[in-house]
Structure 1
Amino acid sequence: MRVSEAMTRNVSIARPDQSIQEAARMMADIDAGILPVGDNDRLVGMITDRDIAVRAVAAGKGPDAQVADVMTRDVCYCFDDEDLDDVAHNLGEQQIRRIPVVNRDKRLVGILSLGDLAIMQQGPAGEALAGISRPGGMHSQTGNA
């Protein structure tokens, strides 16, 4: 199976020149803790809720600080035509929960998460991980049940 068969295609993308407040609002709207950062559909970084908390808020930056100031620039990614098992193994080795997916022209085409992988797995562990990774619930980013 290829990565393209398991990945999430409709991905919200932050821009480097956006404020971290806008990025946080985007995360809240989609109930996610991470966004790829793109510039003209080219992946230039990733920003997480932890980046905003640790690299921005804890460092005294305000909500108008730019995404580019706190994002991670050195980003691991995979290709949409790679073998899913190989990518899953690499995620485990590197302890990565989500990875941006690009095509061979290095254009962002999706994101692959543990939840996406869990949906492809059979059995209790896959079911549990898929349920845990499902958006919403009492412990969601937005607090909605």
Structure 2
Amino acid sequence: MTAHRVSDVMTKQVIYLSAETPLDEAAQAMRDADIGDVVVTDGASIIGMVTDRDIVVRAVAERRDVGETTIGSITTREVVMIEQSSSAADAATLMRDRGVRRVLVCDADRQLVGIVSLGDLAMRMDPGSTLGEISEQPPNN
């Protein structure tokens, strides 16, 4: 497991959407790209991340209008980052320690190059490992 680097297991396709994007458009972008998250921006700055679960829990379950509600209003603003040269085990430990299921991946210059998710790591790790503990963490919402 430690032979795998984050860069080996991360999803390289990152979708960036403006904080002003309506939730329904964000959900469509996730569906079309077959991903569960988008990076939220304000101009050139990353301000957070929104997941498919965020849309369900923070908007649909609250009966918010998904055509009028923006992703900026439900964005998780505290994002966790890891360097792409870190080990996959380091990513799993970081997720467990921070109680998150996705981590932004950066290069040595702190430029975003991907996202590593619990699912990405699950393909490389035994179900009885650290990932089992991560899955038991309460949602970050």
What TM-score do you get using the length of structure 1 for normalisation?
0.69
Shift of 1:86: 1.7
Match in the other structure for 1:139: none
Q: Is 1:64 the equivalent of 2:64? A: no
Aligned partner (choices 110, 127, 132) of residue 106 of structure 1? 110
Match in the other structure for 2:10: 7
Shift of 1:23: 0.3
Shift of 1:22: 0.8
Paired with 1:7 and 1:33, the residues of 2 have a C-alpha distance of 13
User: Which amino acid letter does the alignment assign opposite residue 39 of structure 2?
Assistant: P
What secondary structure, in the 3-state scheme, does the structure 1 residue paired with 2:94 have? helix
Aligned partner (choices 14, 19, 22) of residue 16 of structure 1? 19
Shift of 1:25: 0.7
Paired with 1:60 and 1:116, the residues of 2 have a C-alpha distance of 31
Q: Is 1:83 the equivalent of 2:92? A: no
Note the alpha carbon deviations across 1:40-82, whole angstroms, 9 max, x for none. Answer: 6653211122322333341634412221111111111212122
Q: How many residues align?
A: 125
Q: 1:7 to 1:41 in 2, by over 3 A?
A: farther
Paired with 1:81 and 1:39, the residues of 2 have a C-alpha distance of 28
Match in the other structure for 1:137: none
Match in the other structure for 1:120: 124
Unaligned runs of 5+ in 1: 130-145
What TM-score do you get using the length of structure 2 for normalisation?
0.71
Preserved contact between residue 39 and residue 50 of structure 2 (Cα < 8 Å): yes
User: Which amino acid letter does the alignment assign opposite residue 85 of structure 1?
Assistant: A
Unaligned runs of 5+ in 2: 132-141
**What percentage of residue pairs aligned between the two structures are identical?**
38
Match in the other structure for 2:57: 54
